[in-house]
Every structure is written in C-alpha cells, then in structure tokens.
Amino acid sequence: MVSRKRKRRNSRQLDFQRTVKKISEIFHQYSVEDIACALFISCMWLPNITSPTQHQLLTIIFASLNPEQYRANKKIKSYQDFKLLLETIYPLLPSFPLLEDYIPNLDWGEVKYHHSSKDYRIFYGCELEDPYDLLQLYETVYCPFNEEYVRFTSRSPIEELKLSLILQDKLIRAIDGLPKDLETTKVSLGGKQIPPQYFWSAAKSFFTSFDPQEVLGNDFLDKYSLDIGELYVDFSSSKSFEQTAFEDQILPYMFLHWKGRYLLVLPRRITSVLLDSWSTVFGQFKDQILGNEYRRHLRISMEVYKYLKTRIRSDNLFGLVNAVDQENNAHEVLFSTTFIAKDRLVLIYVARSHLKNG
C-alpha cells in the first residue's frame, strides 16, 4: 500500500513536470529572441530580485529547449505582448521557500568595485552574501599568479575579472533600473512583478542593441557561453532542481549562444559565474600554478599579508610568522599575518583546506 507521504511526493513530482512542460509549450509559441529578451527584462526588474530561483527555472527551461522547435507563431512587438507572456507564465511557477528566503539589497549600481585604477558599478544584491569581499578574495588568490595561469591554462584571471566588471558597469549605466516609486515599492519573498512599460522599453533597447562580441571579445564569450539546447537538466522533480540550485550548479554561464548571437542571461549572477569558473580552474591546475600544498599555503598566505599591509596602518604588522618554543624552534603552524591592535595580538591563518579545490 502506497503511503500518503509517497503519494504527496509523487503528486509534487508530477505537478513540477507538468509545469515545465506547460512553460516549454508557451515558449515554443514565440521566437528565441523574444523569449530571451522577455526573461532578461523580467529578472532585471528590481522588485523581482526576491525570486531568483524562479527566474533560474525559466532560464534553464529556455536554455534546454531545442531552438528549432520555436515556431514564432506569436511575437512580442509591444508592451502588451510582453505583459501577456508574463501574465501567462508567472502563475505557473512553483514557489521555493527554502531557497528564496531572504530579500537581497535593492541596489542598482550604488556599490562600485575598484580595479586597475577604475571604479565599476556592480550588482551587489544577489545570491552571494558579500560579492564585494569575494571579488577582493578573487584578486588575492588568483590575480597575483596571472602569468602562470596564462601559461598553463591560456586564461587570465585579471582580464576575465575586468571584462565581468565592464559587463556589469555597462548594463547598469545603460538602464535606469530603480523603480520611480522605490520608497513605496513593496517586495516580498519569492514575489514577482510585471515590469512597467518604461523599464520594458529601456531594457529591451539595451538587450537588442548590445553587442557582447564588440565589448568583451570572443575568447571571453566562448568561456562563459552555452549553445541553446545543449543544457541538460533533470526536470523529473522539484527536489532535484532545488538541490542543483542550492549547490549553485544551475547555469554556470553568462550567455546563451544562438545563430551567432550571444544572449545575456541572469545578469545578477555574473560575479557568481566568474567565481565558480575560477574555483574550477584552481582545482584543476593548482599544482602546476602554485606547487604542492605547502607551497600553495605559503604563497597564498603571503598574498593575504600583502593585501592587509596595504589596508592596515601599523608599525607592528608582520607577515609569515611562526610561534616558537622555549628553544626558539619554529612551530609548524604558519600564520599569514600578525599585528598588534591596542593590547591584543591578532593572528591570521589561512586554512589549508580551502586551498585544495579553490
């Protein structure tokens, strides 16, 4: 006899499968360009920052479908056409209360990231707790070894960071993304709002005129793009999708490629995609780039000391410090940085476990 719990689980699985199928059928009525543009505008509307997982679901359904099956029987030529599409698909989306359980910062370029003597506007409110600090960590861990990465991987952490910043800055400057009534705009967990016409017009103009190849170059785009229809996703159950989303493995790309065009997707994930990509690179090439585990720990510890030295004004700040025993023999634990703050001795240690896979 099938238990009630299993029946409920099976029912949820079937509901999720029906949802994916229904959304796929709706997408197929339009063209690839119309769906890509509509999803871009929907996820970019600031109040929709609280439904990232739902927008990821829409995007991966779009990315997984065979582009030849898009019939373009319907076209999005006006705001009313755009509004009708969202009014059709929004009610179909399931809720993800365990994943969409917080409201990120409602920002639109207020936070700037300084890199190579220039300030870039970035998306701060996203799935990352503090993207600014993580970008600084990126610069500390990867960028000092740029030449080694270029030699062994033909990739440059400095150049890819710069281009990801340019991409965010260009998008933010091109679109006025702040709602005109921001102070009275209400957002809720997992909430979705149809963007107003003025935002639809501005975002559509950017999406249709932006040329990623001209701004970013083919090398960058090839690394951060996927051909539409090439994405495999397990849509058998909501649980499997949620687990993939929780592990941040949904769509590790910034663009979808189709017929020579690079279509920007989920822009608030640009920093996440960059960090995940370089974590993978580090895991694959750490021995060639930094040597064995001891040398990796030593070199990264030194970079942490250099980073802190430029930011902490103190005559009592030292790098690569060991404790010693009564016979002045160095202890095996190596501290990256030591400094005195008033009457306290502060010791900073880089955990070796974090250097194994990035």
What's the pLDDT tens digit per position in 171-222?
999 999 988 876 667 889 999 999 999 999 999 999 999 999 999 999 999 9
Q: What is the pLDDT of residue 1?
A: 47
Gyration radius of the chain's alpha carbons: 24
Q: Strand pairing partners for 158?
A: none
Q: How far apart are CA 207 and CA 40, in angstroms?
A: 8
- Helix (H) / strand (E) element for 227: namely strand 225-227
Q: Strand pairing partners for 262?
A: 257
Angle among Cα 228, 196, 92 to the nearest 5 degrees reads 50
Q: Strand pairing partners for 348?
A: 337
What's the pLDDT tens digit per position in 44-72?
999 999 999 999 999 999 999 999 999 99
Under 8 Å CB-to-CB from 11, ≥6 apart: which residues? none
Q: What is the pLDDT of residue 354?
A: 59
Q: What is the pLDDT of residue 343?
A: 83
Q: What is the pLDDT of residue 238?
A: 86
pTM for the model stands at: 0.88
pLDDT tens, the chain, 358 aa long: 456 555 555 677 889 999 999 999 999 999 999 999 999 999 999 999 999 999 999 999 999 999 999 999 999 999 999 999 999 999 999 999 999 998 988 899 999 999 999 999 999 999 898 999 999 999 998 999 999 999 999 999 999 999 999 999 999 999 999 888 766 678 899 999 999 999 999 999 999 999 999 999 999 999 999 999 999 888 888 888 888 888 877 899 999 999 999 999 999 999 999 999 999 999 999 888 877 777 777 788 888 888 888 777 777 888 888 877 777 887 778 888 888 888 888 888 887 765 665 5
Q: How far apart are CA 92 and CA 26, in angstroms?
A: 11
Helices assigned H by DSSP within the chain = 4-28, 32-44, 52-64, 79-89, 131-141, 146-153, 157-174, 197-209, 212-216, 218-223, 238-246, 270-290, 293-309
Tokens at residue 126, please? 């996203």
